[in-house]
């Protein structure tokens, strides 16, 4: 359908079925920050902010892709590492020569093949992160740093390899931050909004970049980050995008805020920003009191987080395998989520109407560290057996439950089939679940085995006899078909 240049028209558009069905995407953070590949091991995002506050987070930022901002904070671990390793005169942009030389032997097919084995249905690549470095040869180069881009069309090469394997391709762009336009370090959460470029020069650059990415690569996902300059006409950009990519999706990080306006005092504005910053970054549908905020989206994003219940609005949880999105040479397997934990996280997210966008952080030469590969392959192996309970499913009437013995459960459904997913190995051979009454034709299977399981129902109590040779697995899936109730 045609879309007018209004938010009301854009809101009429349903989320495309492919995105509902996809469930698992791979995020890739790759750029100049991959060369130093260094950040302190402060912990997971939510935990650090809860423990140390935003100032503590920025001072000891475990996100390696924030390296440029971190080394601008004198006395921070990253600043000290940079001085000790590269000296005081080595500039961040000097990493460009090393980055371009490092990946000369890299092949996009290697990534695409691995992501397919992991079970991914879509991929999202960082085309420009907050440092302003571009991974494609733009007709609109950085006005402040000459030659500040990859020599190869990395965006084009990855896009071609991903689509050759029938996966969707999405593109990330940092619209809200560009540290080549703003030299001030972000030391606290309010600084994040105050350092968003709002100049006419930046509005033109960001708009031209997004339109160029759309026209050249036709991304299935517009994954913007942090925000977007307040003067930009996003309704026009989104309408033009949907006309060109009818099944495209837009994330919720195109928030437009201009702290120079709003009709309230600066102190009050700063208090308002601080009080709800966490909600904004977690994809909450909220407003900044007294500030002009606009945002259209097809999906909400949560970072290192999930929702506690089924949400009507489609959403996506994104996280790194470790504490960082970009490659961090300090991370060891013990700092990373295990394959079993990843599987359970995916199940939980899908049961609540979400997708998981799982990040990998390659080295500068394009190699994906072995611990990251192992987790991707572990996830893929589980999905080979149990993927029918994930892909193409929708939430059931409730997401969570427990067996009579206390084993945690998640539920999904597809047509007339319910999937009851045990997140732990049951301690007893009989599993009792509270479910509506089954029909005489209902059969129960453990995915991965052909033989149906014996079951009985007494009121709401549905008891299933598990097989004696129950395999070791992060989660066991029971298929009830036709579904009960």
Q: How confident is the model at residue 287 (pLDDT cuts 50, 70, 90)?
A: very low
Residues of the chain with pLDDT > 90: what percent? 81
pTM comes to 0.94
The model's confidence at residue 189, banded by pLDDT at 50, 70 and 90, is confident
Is the peptide bond prior to 482 cis by the omega test (within 30 degrees of 0)?
Answer: yes
Are 461 and 432 contacting, i.e. CB atoms less than 8 angstroms apart?
A: yes
The stretch 23-41 carries a mean pLDDT of 98
Report the candidate in 244, 242, 350, 234 with the shortest Cα–Cα distance to residue 293. Answer: 234
CA distance 430 to 356: 31
Is residue 169 classed exposed, middle or buried when 0-12, 13-18 and 19+ CB atoms within 10 A define those classes? buried
For residue 285, the model assigns a pLDDT of: 44
- Indicate whether 252 pLDDT > 80: yes
Burial of residue 82, with CB atoms counted within 10 A of its CB: 0-12 exposed, 13-18 middle, 19 or more buried: buried
Q: In what order do the strands lie in the sheet with 300-303?
A: 249-250, 221-224, 168-173, 122-128, 24-28, 354-360, 315-320, 300-303
Question: Regarding beta strands 221-224 and 249-250, do their DSSP bridges make them parallel or antiparallel, or are they unpaired?
Answer: parallel
Give, as one character, the DSSP assignment of residue 3. Answer: -
User: Could you report the per-residue pLDDT of 320-365, keeping only the tens digit for each?
Assistant: 999 999 999 999 999 999 999 999 999 999 999 999 999 999 999 9
pLDDT of 290 over the 80 cut: no
Looking at residue 294, its pLDDT comes to 55
At residue 277, the pLDDT reads 57
- CA 399 to each of CA 402, 437, 442: distance values in angstroms, whole numbers, following the listed order: 11, 18, 21
Q: How far apart are CA 465 and CA 446, in angstroms?
A: 10
The model's pLDDT over 89-101, given as tens digits with 9 standing for 90+, comes to: 999 999 999 999 9
Residue by residue, DSSP assigns 354-389 as: EEEEEEE---TTSPPPHHHHHHHHHHHHHHHHHGGG
Lowest mean pLDDT, pick from 225-239, 261-275, 402-416, 451-465: 261-275
Cα 287 to Cα 284: distance, rounded to the nearest angstrom: 9
Q: Which pLDDT belongs to residue 35?
A: 98
Pick the closest to residue 19 from 252, 357, 320 (CA basis): 357
Domains of the chain and any CATH numbers: 7-389 (3.20.20.80), 394-481 (2.60.40.1180)
């Amino acid at each position: 359908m045609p879309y007018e240049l209004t938010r009301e028209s854009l809101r009429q558009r349903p989320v495309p079925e492919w995105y509902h069905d996809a469930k698992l995407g791979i995020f890739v953070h790759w750029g100049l920050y991959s060369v130093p590949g260094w950040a302190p091991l402060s912990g997971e995002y939510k935990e650090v902010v809860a423990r140390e506050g935003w100032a503590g987070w920025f001072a000891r930022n475990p996100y390696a892709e924030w390296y440029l901002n971190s080394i601008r904070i004198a006395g921070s671990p990253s600043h000290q590492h940079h001085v000790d390793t590269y000296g005081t005169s080595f500039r961040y942009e000097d990493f460009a020569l090393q980055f371009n030389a490092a990946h000369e032997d890299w092949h996009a097919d290697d990534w695409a093949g691995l992501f397919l084995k992991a079970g991914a249905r879509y991929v999202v690549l960082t085309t420009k992160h907050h440092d302003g470095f571009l991974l494609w040869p733009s007709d609109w180069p950085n006005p402040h740093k000459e030659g500040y881009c990859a020599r190869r069309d990395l965006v084009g090469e990855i896009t071609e390899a991903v689509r050759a394997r029938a996966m969707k391709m999405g593109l990330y762009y940092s619209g809200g931050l560009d540290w080549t336009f703003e030299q001030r370090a972000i030391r606290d959460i309010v600084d994040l909004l105050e350092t968003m470029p709002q100049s006419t020069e930046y509005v033109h650059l960001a708009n031209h970049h997004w339109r160029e990415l759309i026209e050249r690569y036709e991304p299935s996902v517009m994954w913007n980050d942090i925000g977007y300059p307040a003067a930009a006409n996003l309704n026009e950009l989104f309408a033009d995008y949907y006309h060109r990519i009818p099944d495209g999706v837009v994330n919720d990080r195109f928030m437009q805020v201009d702290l120079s306006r709003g009709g309230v005092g600066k102190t009050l504005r700063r208090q308002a920003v601080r009080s709800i910053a966490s909600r904004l970054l977690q994809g909450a549908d909220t407003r900044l009191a007294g500030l002009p905020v606009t945002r259209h989206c097809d999906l909400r994003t949560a970072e290192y987080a999930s929702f506690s219940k089924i949400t009507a609005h489609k959403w996506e949880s994104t996280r790194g395998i470790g504490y960082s999105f970009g490659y961090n040479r300090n991370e060891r397997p013990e700092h990373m989520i295990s394959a079993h934990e990843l599987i359970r996280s995916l199940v939980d997210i899908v049961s609540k109407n979400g997708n998981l966008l799982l990040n990998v952080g390659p080295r500068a030469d394009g190699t994906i560290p072995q611990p990251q590969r192992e987790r991707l392959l572990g996830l893929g192996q589980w999905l080979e057996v149990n993927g029918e309970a994930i892909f193409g499913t929708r939430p059931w009437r409730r997401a969570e439950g427990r067996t009579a013995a206390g084993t945690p459960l998640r539920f999904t459904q597809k047509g007339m089939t319910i999937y009851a997913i045990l997140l732990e190995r049951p301690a007893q051979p009989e599993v009792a679940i509270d479910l509506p009454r089954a029909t005489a034709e209902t059969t129960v299977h453990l995915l991965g085995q052909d033989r149906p399981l014996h079951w009985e129902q007494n009121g709401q109590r549905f008891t299933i006899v598990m097989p004696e040779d129950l395999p070791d697995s992060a989660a066991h899936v029971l298929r009830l078909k036709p579904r009960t109730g």
